[in-house]
């Protein structure tokens, strides 16, 4: 453990990098506050090096807490104010402390220094401060690029429908991808009309953000079009986003008391995509896309895809696709023919990777069957 006296000496007399590191470590020393430490940090707030002032301000806030640290937002040095904002974010304040802090932060949205405005916009978004809505909308046309970016992101974090028109108006370069992402978080399906043209944008980042935003807002019809979109990147991001969405929102297919737990309501409507996924799998050539489509059929428990998946497991030239097909089959309703397909793959496939996947699928089916039997016995014993 470094001594405080040594850190203070290095802060005063070391090289620039040593001084910055000493300033940071002084803010994290696990000991009661002491005047020499505070005075040493205060003394460097006027240093000509911006990074040192920034770090000293952060350390002071860490040491004295948010209430006393807020006074640094009045400091004449913009890097001190900048560091103070980020230190307040890192303190992870409680709800009641956040509510007390927000009115102070609102004034920082008008700070003359762009980095301070940018940091404030970010923090207000993370705090979910709807009081900042109008101020954040004004910052969408700020002359400091990072402030614009953080304001767009913050409006998405707020999820306030009143930001809809402002976000639509900013679906243009250079930050269309952030406006699209924010619109996807508002939950207003009418945004899809404004997002669809971005799929033809020349910037892959914009295409990707628009795709994911549409996926969040859609109830199934547009998603089918995205899966069949002529641009490969749109299809890829849609399939990946859809798979992650299902992973996040769906329940396990393990049975409870003999009854299958079905897909949760937010993603149940994606069942209608199964014919499109099957069709796309028949003509898709991109290896990662094929893998994602196979996984989706398993996630959606697409029993009508069992013949296709069985054929892929038996004949596809890519071992990763065969392994994915085996795992997808393990998500289906158990049956002797299904077990037979997986047992053949486990015994005959030349790839150990595929054999392992088939074994995992069989174990999962066995687990489901055992659980169903136990649940059935329990229910029959409970019936008089």
pLDDT over threshold 50, residue 8: yes
Q: What is the DSSP letter of 263?
A: P
* pLDDT for res 1: 60
- Give the pLDDT band (50/70/90) at residue 250: low
Taking the C-alpha atoms of residue 119 and residue 125, their distance in angstroms, rounded to an integer, is: 10
Beta bridge partners of residue 256, listed in sequence order = 259
The domain made up of 113-217 has a fold known as 1.25.10
* pLDDT for res 369: 75
Domain 1-91, CATH number (from 3.30.9.10, 1.10.8.80, 3.30.930.10, 1.25.10.10): 1.25.10.10
- Residue pLDDT, tens place only, 304-357: 999 999 999 999 999 999 999 999 999 998 899 999 999 999 999 999 999 999
* pLDDT for res 270: 81
- Residue pLDDT, tens place only, 15-53: 999 999 999 999 988 766 788 999 999 999 999 999 999
* pLDDT for res 34: 83
Taking the C-alpha atoms of residue 378 and residue 205, their distance in angstroms, rounded to an integer, is: 53
Q: What DSSP string describes 107-125? A: HHTT-SSHHHHHHHHHHHH
Taking the C-alpha atoms of residue 263 and residue 147, their distance in angstroms, rounded to an integer, is: 41
Mean pLDDT of 276-284: 94
- Residue pLDDT, tens place only, 150-172: 999 999 999 999 999 999 999 99
Q: Which letter, b or e, does each residue of 63-101 get, where b requires 16 or more Cβ atoms within 10 Å of its Cβ?
A: bbebeebbebbebebbbbbbbbbbbbbeeebeeeebeeb
Domain regions of the chain by residue span: 1-91, 113-217, 256-384
* pLDDT for res 188: 94
For domain 256-384, the question of CATH label 3.40.10.10 is answered with: no
Classify 255 as helix, strand or coil: strand
- Residue pLDDT, tens place only, 56-109: 999 999 999 888 999 999 999 999 999 999 999 998 888 777 888 999 999 999
- Residue pLDDT, tens place only, 169-219: 999 999 999 999 999 999 999 999 999 999 999 999 999 999 999 999 986
pLDDT over threshold 90, residue 286: yes
* pLDDT for res 294: 97
Q: What is the DSSP letter of 45?
A: G
Q: What is the DSSP letter of 30?
A: -
Which CA distances in Å does 154 have to 133, 185, 288?
A: 9, 11, 33
Least confident of 93-97, 110-114, 325-329, 362-366: 93-97
pLDDT over threshold 70, residue 378: no
In the block, which residue shows the tokens 């002491």? 34
Mean pLDDT of 223-244: 94
| Whole-number CA gyration radius for the chain | 28
132: closest CA among 164, 110, 112?
Answer: 110
- Residue pLDDT, tens place only, 115-132: 999 999 999 999 999 999
pLDDT over threshold 80, residue 269: no
* pLDDT for res 132: 97
Classify 16 as helix, strand or coil: helix
Taking the C-alpha atoms of residue 88 and residue 346, their distance in angstroms, rounded to an integer, is: 56
* pLDDT for res 220: 62
pLDDT over threshold 50, residue 133: yes
* pLDDT for res 375: 60
Contact between 274 and 304 (Cβ < 8 Å) = yes
* pLDDT for res 265: 43
Mean pLDDT of 126-145: 96
Q: Residue 208 belongs to what H/E stretch? A: helix 204-217
Taking the C-alpha atoms of residue 333 and residue 70, their distance in angstroms, rounded to an integer, is: 60
* pLDDT for res 268: 65
* pLDDT for res 376: 59
Q: Do domains 113-217 and 256-384 have the same CATH topology?
A: yes
Contact between 326 and 354 (Cβ < 8 Å) = yes
* Model pTM above 0.75: yes
């Amino acid at each position: 453990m470094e001594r405080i006296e040594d850190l203070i000496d290095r802060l005063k007399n070391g090289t620039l990098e040593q001084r910055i590191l000493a300033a940071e470590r002084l803010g994290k020393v696990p000991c009661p506050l002491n005047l020499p430490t505070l005075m040493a940090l205060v003394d460097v707030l006027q240093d000509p090096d911006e990074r040192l002032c920034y770090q000293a301000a952060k350390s002071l806030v860490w040491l004295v807490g948010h209430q006393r640290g807020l006074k640094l937002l009045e400091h004449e040095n913009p890097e001190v104010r900048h560091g103070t904002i980020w230190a307040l974010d890192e303190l992870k304040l409680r709800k009641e402390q956040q509510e007390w802090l927000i009115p102070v932060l609102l004034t920082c949205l008008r700070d003359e220094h762009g980095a301070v405005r940018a940091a404030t916009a970010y923090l207000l978004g993370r705090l979910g401060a709807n009081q900042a809505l109008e101020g954040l909308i004004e910052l969408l046309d700020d002359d400091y690029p990072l402030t614009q970016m953080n304001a767009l992101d913050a409006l998405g974090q707020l999820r306030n429908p009143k930001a809809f028109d402002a976000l639509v108006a900013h679906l243009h370069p250079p930050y269309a991808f952030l406006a699209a992402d924010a619109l996807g978080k508002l939950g207003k399906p009418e945004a899809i009309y404004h997002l669809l043209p971005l799929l033809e944008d020349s910037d892959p980042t914009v295409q990707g953000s628009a795709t994911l935003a549409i996926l969040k807002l859609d109830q199934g019809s547009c998603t089918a079009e995205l899966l069949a979109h002529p641009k490969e990147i749109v299809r890829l991001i849609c399939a990946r986003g859809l798979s992650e969405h299902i992973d996040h929102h769906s329940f396990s297919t393990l049975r409870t008391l003999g009854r299958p737990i079905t897909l949760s309501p937010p993603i149940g409507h994606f069942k209608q995509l199964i014919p499109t996924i099957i069709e796309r799998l028949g003509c898709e050539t991109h290896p990662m896309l094929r893998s994602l489509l196979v996984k989706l059929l398993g996630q959606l428990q697409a029993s009508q895809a069992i013949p296709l998946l069985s054929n892929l497991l038996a004949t596809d030239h890519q071992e990763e696709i065969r392994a994915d097909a085996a795992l997808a089959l393990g998500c289906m309703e158990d049956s002797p023919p299904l077990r037979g397909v997986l047992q053949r793959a486990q015994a005959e496939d030349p790839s150990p990777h595929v054999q392992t996947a088939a074994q995992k699928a069989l174990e999962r089916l066995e687990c489901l069957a055992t659980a169903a039997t136990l649940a059935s016995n329990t229910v029959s014993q409970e019936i008089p």
